[in-house]
Structure 1
Amino acid sequence: MTTAQLLDFRLRLLLLKSNLILFFVLMMVRTYASDGRIKIIPEPVKVIEQSGEFTLDNTTVLSLSDNKVKETADWFSTRLKASTGYDLKRSNNGTKRISLELNVKADAAIGDEGYTLKVTPSEVVLKANTTAGIFYGLQTILQLLPPDIESQSVKNVAWTMPCAEIIDYPRFGWRGLMLDVSRHFFTKDEVKQFIDEMIRYKYNTLHLHLADDEGWRIEIKSLPELTKVGAWRVPRTGRWGKLPADLANEKATDGGFYTQEDMKELLKYAAARGITILPEIDVPAHSLAMIASYPNLSCTQLPYKVNAGREFYTREDNVLCVGNDSIFLVLDKVFTELAALFPSKYIHVGGDEAYKGFWKTCPKCKARMEHEHLKDVDELQSYFVKRMETMLKAKGKKMIGWDEILEGGLAPEATVMSWRGMSGGITAAKMNHHVVMTPWDFVYLDLYQGEQTAEPPTYGMCRLSDSYNYDPVPDSVDEKYILGGQGNLWTESVPVFRHVEYMTWPRSIALSEVYWSPKAKRNWDDFIPRLEENFKRLDAADIKYARSVYNVILRPVRINRYDYEINLATEIKGLDLYYSFDNTNPDAHYPKYTGQALRWPVGANILKVITYRNGKPVGAQVDITKEDLAKRLDEKRHVY
């Protein structure tokens, strides 16, 4: 070998070594990013991860730049002490500290709810323009600590957080969850617990559905019958909508309500955690509890009971009589007390699903239409809604309602909450009205969230990926009219608080990223490992959540008039599917699904599928009969 050839060989070898080193470095960085220490939800605007870590211990001090953050700092100290046992001293000195600083000059880039965070081995510095920004930054700090920080008992772990620089602020100002406390009543302490679960993911609005056909839940002192009668119904357990009607002389003992003092306590609790409570009184429909309390308010003026879960729609009159002046006197009393009680600038008036059949035959409603020159019952509803807006404006409040308030003409300054898909919101935004997007097929938390045979009974389908991949801003509208969005939990089929949690999480974790994070940063494959880290946190906090995202998705496809085949899928990549047709329960020794559609063996009538990852089961076993799966072939809207 000549000298030139030897030099060329050595040069090639050196280049190969350099490339191999670069490859392994990149692989380490890639692994570090996917495995590693920063797994925050919702994803911040900018994260620069750095080497090293800050260790929280009993020498750490908490430094405050301003007494305005004292209440927030007290909350943070209490949270830390529960799981670490450390009672952080307040000091502006110390070799290891967490500093909470309000900016002397506002940082325009982060706005009212944003923050900057810098973690070094010796110090954690959190800065914001407002106490709200400080509070949201503290949620990020908690997510940088190990999952056991969510525990309510002291854990013996190393309380470290990775060094990093973070810049963060929300995409939308309205980031909400709705809790229906009418269909099933939840106590004051349960609502507080719901608030504490919301704040982990930087939500700022709790919409309370306080009145419906199944119960009136807020004290109105000038109308005592609303809670004396309307807050109570006969007790029933079972499938909602299929429950038996009241028996003769059966006592109404199921229910409850919040006194105004209770609500003041909840409002204070929520405000300390950056949460605005939005009250909703659903009118003119969904008003059976009000009508049961004051029978003269309906068109029929018949005595009705508060609905306990029976079918009644269109057969019993749950709609207020718009031709009756008494309803406006009653609602003025209701909204006067609510306006004085709730600091929220909005009051929600519902306006949805009004059955207008009773209006069409009601003499008072027909007289109102004639007097006001209204051509049909849609315009009668619009007349009602516009009066509600005028009433609320006189009390210093803005009106918000479901998208049916568009029917017959939208009130001049109304904000629309669009639930029947996106179209109502699009229409309102093009009319220069503000919109909160809540399309049912992406954000309704009472829907199935996975294979329905493995879920408690409900209706429809909204998978975790549906919620995560949805965007509140349609291409055809100006984003400035979209205030944000929220997840809605209707509770007809949610009788206990543990099931509230199961239906809320993790879909509301996904939605938190939709409402907070930049659209460009949303990535399903990146979200999953961060979600699974948050599952550990929910476990530590003893919060119930659904693991439906791990379950199989069954997709029948017709091959001829008499038969069909089955495709199997999963929302999460990298899962193995094992199945059986022989009535036995499959495990990892059974046939593995390879992507080829399955055919029913002769005589088989039940398919069982279970998901595995890395040799261990991760999903629930799903069992379904041939007949039940075949029914999905003919459904207009498939629920798989």
Structure 2
Amino acid sequence: MKKTFLLLAAACMTMGAAAEVNYRTIPLPQRIVLDPSGKVALLVKGQAVTYPAGNGQMRGTAQLAAGYLSLVPLEGGKKSAHGLHLSLGLKSDNPEAYTITVDKKGIRIQGASESGVFYGLQTLRKSVAAEQGDTIRLPYATVSGEPRFPYRGAELDCARHFFPPAFIKKFIDILALHGVNRFHWHLTDDQGWRMEVKSMPELAAKASVRPCTVVGRNLGLGDPDNAIYDDTPETGYYTQEQMREIVRYAQERFITIVPEIDLPGHMVAALSVYPELGCTGGPYSVWRQWGISQDVLCAGNPRTLDFLHKVMDEVCGVFPGKLIHIGGDESPRDRWKACPKCQAKMKELGLKSEAQLQTYINQDIEAYLAAKGRDIIGWDETLEGGLSEKASVMSWRGYQGGIEAARQHHHVVMTPKSHCYIDYYQLKNRDAQPLAIGGYLPLSKVYSMEPVPAELTGEEAKFIMGAQCNLWTEYVVSPDHAMYMLLPRLAAMSEVQWMQPGAKDFDDFSQRRLPVLQALYRLLGYKYCTAFE
């Protein structure tokens, strides 16, 4: 008791020389003002973290703070000079803004909303990552931050390789640490269907099973029967109960999940269970190789839309977020050109191209989801046949698709593969890294990304919602491998998503602030690439 009293009494001592905390985290707050007095406040293990009574979201953040900082949650506790105090009421035009204040009155985080408080907590947590012992010395300061973009995403492909629910939660924790607020969950593809659909139980049970996988970059496209395959089955899917638990886990960290059901292409796994939904009638099997399949959903078969409606019913029942990703990329139209049903549908609708046939599917799904209060987002190929007003675009083949979409007043997430595809190698020396799909995307290039092209007018630029990095997993086979590809490039993306371009400084980021964050990676057991270029 005497020891605790002495620690608390020392809170206002001048201890500038001993304090190492400088609040220069990743992403960097917009404003850091250190008190010239050099005084510090002490945050001691076992102290309270108080939060407003009756606010469940703030309770959850306080519980997370307790875990991060070894504190004790206290609902409706009175403000004092000791412990950590969480509150709302910050005046800001940005609902995710926060301010951390450290002075003689204590240590306080105030947010413009509950999410703002959470991001302030993450900044505080990262600020003290290097502190050891039961007492953390925090210099008197005012620290303020707010994100540049409302959509700050990261994607994980769980179709090519299945990642267990425990790792999905760890992935979400990593996103939260970096201020990401959208988890784009790629759940279906030619090589596996990973979402349980209760009205069609055989779909996930059968389409989640890939008996083997092509070895290395021997894609197997030219001669799949004679390609080299491993002898390891790839299996696994997420039950709806597991997905709902993951949704809840993400919500506690102010992350919205954007589920992706890729259509009308990338559907071979589903066609292996329902061959009548393909133009040729099959037979089909879950794809063992990588690349782009010519086999897609038959646009002229009315049962195709019935199938998709059933899937979307259950997607909406599990995922409460506004956006549903419908893919739309890499969907060849050769089968449609040769399919009597598809050609008859084109004639019926008065369509002039197969691209418009894909738009017909997109618009049907969009209307179906709109009746459930949801909006669609798709890859930039969805622009080719025309988009309806509320559809959003994820621009991956470059910036041009996003530019065109913004000029048409569609909301856009910029994710060009040149800057955002973190399945690419991150070092020039490929022998020093695990096998990857190819390419070269160093940390510095991720950091250099500018989501708002200069070609856009001020009005058009308002349609750029944000940026996202994508982790495709054809060659990413384990959780450790996924973390290695993600980190530290996600740290660079977080500064793209949070900071104004004029405030970014790669040398400061990489030489001064990144080593501190990497120390936290090690403490948390996160695998990461230790070198960067």
Q: Do these two structures clear the TM 0.5 threshold for a shared fold by scoring above it?
A: yes
Q: What amino acid is aligned across from residue 371 of structure 2 in structure 1?
A: A
Match of residue 30 from structure 2: 45
CA 1:222/1:453 → structure 2, altered by over 3 Å: closer, same or farther?
same
Q: Is residue 71 from structure 1 mapped to residue 60 from structure 2 by the alignment? A: yes
Please give the secondary structure, in 2, of the residue aligned with 1:270. helix
CA 1:238/1:122 → structure 2, altered by over 3 Å: closer, same or farther?
farther
What count of residue pairs does the alignment treat as equivalent? 499
Higher mean alpha-carbon deviation, 50-59 vs 261-270, is at: 50-59
Q: Deviations over 1:61-104 (max 9, x none)?
A: 323244312221012112223xxxx546664255422111111x
| 2:167–2:479 Cα contact (<8 Å) kept | yes
Distance 1:202 1:312 in 2: 33
Match of residue 611 from structure 1: none
Q: Is residue 342 from structure 1 mapped to residue 286 from structure 2 by the alignment? A: no
Out of 344, 354, 372, the position equivalent to 1:377 is 354
Match of residue 382 from structure 2: 405
Distance 2:291 2:118 in 1: 46
Match of residue 422 from structure 1: 399
Identical residues among aligned pairs (%):
38
Out of 429, 432, 440, the position equivalent to 1:454 is 432
CA 1:246/1:283 → structure 2, altered by over 3 Å: closer, same or farther?
farther
| 1:280–1:350 Cα contact (<8 Å) kept | yes
Match of residue 241 from structure 2: 261
CA 1:241/1:297 → structure 2, altered by over 3 Å: closer, same or farther?
farther
CA 1:548/1:93 → structure 2, altered by over 3 Å: closer, same or farther?
closer
| 1:66–1:101 Cα contact (<8 Å) kept | no
| 1:240–1:492 Cα contact (<8 Å) kept | no
State the 1:225 CA deviation.
1.8
Counterpart mapping for 1:220-231 below 5 A: 220-231=197-208
Match of residue 49 from structure 2: 62
Match of residue 5 from structure 2: none
Distance 1:362 1:252 in 2: 36
Q: What amino acid is aligned across from residue 288 of structure 1 in structure 2?
A: V
Match of residue 477 from structure 2: 495
Match of residue 112 from structure 2: 129
| Larger-Rg structure | 1
Out of 213, 216, 223, the position equivalent to 2:190 is 213
Higher mean alpha-carbon deviation, 216-225 vs 449-458, is at: 449-458
CA 1:435/1:241 → structure 2, altered by over 3 Å: closer, same or farther?
farther
CA 1:402/1:313 → structure 2, altered by over 3 Å: closer, same or farther?
closer
Counterpart mapping for 1:594-609 below 5 A: none
CA 1:62/1:407 → structure 2, altered by over 3 Å: closer, same or farther?
same
Match of residue 209 from structure 2: 232
| 1:60–1:89 Cα contact (<8 Å) kept | no
Distance 2:154 2:302 in 1: 34
Q: Is residue 481 from structure 1 mapped to residue 451 from structure 2 by the alignment? A: no
Distance 1:363 1:251 in 2: 39
| 2:153–2:467 Cα contact (<8 Å) kept | yes
CA 1:182/1:62 → structure 2, altered by over 3 Å: closer, same or farther?
same
Please give the secondary structure, in 2, of the residue aligned with 1:400. strand
Q: What amino acid is aligned across from residue 325 of structure 1 in structure 2?
A: P
Distance 1:267 1:163 in 2: 37
Please give the secondary structure, in 1, of the residue aligned with 2:381. helix
Distance 1:491 1:311 in 2: 10
Counterpart mapping for 1:144-223 below 5 A: 144-147=127-130, 156=133, 158-223=135-200
Q: What amino acid is aligned across from residue 92 of structure 1 in structure 2?
A: K
Distance 1:301 1:386 in 2: 25
Q: What amino acid is aligned across from residue 348 of structure 2 in structure 1?
A: H
Match of residue 487 from structure 2: 505
Please give the secondary structure, in 1, of the residue aligned with 2:282. coil
State the 1:240 CA deviation.
5.1
Q: What amino acid is aligned across from residue 41 of structure 1 in structure 2?
A: I
State the 1:472 CA deviation.
0.4
| 1:385–1:411 Cα contact (<8 Å) kept | no
| 1:213–1:318 Cα contact (<8 Å) kept | no
CA 1:181/1:419 → structure 2, altered by over 3 Å: closer, same or farther?
same
Counterpart mapping for 1:57-136 below 5 A: 57-58=44-45, 60-68=47-55, 69-81=58-70, 87=72, 91-92=77-78, 94-103=80-89, 107-109=91-93, 111-120=94-103, 123-136=106-119
Higher mean alpha-carbon deviation, 425-434 vs 456-465, is at: 456-465
Out of 519, 528, 538, the position equivalent to 2:501 is 519
Of structures 1 and 2, the one with the larger relative CO (CA 8 A, separation 6+) is 2
State the 1:200 CA deviation.
0.8
Distance 1:448 1:136 in 2: 30
Q: Is residue 544 from structure 1 mapped to residue 522 from structure 2 by the alignment? A: no
CA 1:162/1:238 → structure 2, altered by over 3 Å: closer, same or farther?
farther
Please give the secondary structure, in 1, of the residue aligned with 2:140. strand
Distance 1:95 1:336 in 2: 51
Q: TM-score, normalised by structure 1?
A: 0.74
Q: Deviations over 1:357-410 (max 9, x none)?
A: 111111111111111121122222222222221222122210100000011222
Higher mean alpha-carbon deviation, 500-509 vs 229-238, is at: 229-238
Distance 1:253 1:384 in 2: 33
| 2:421–2:471 Cα contact (<8 Å) kept | yes
Instruction: Show structure 1 runs of 5+ residues with no match.
Output: 1-31, 149-154, 550-570, 572-640
Match of residue 628 from structure 1: none
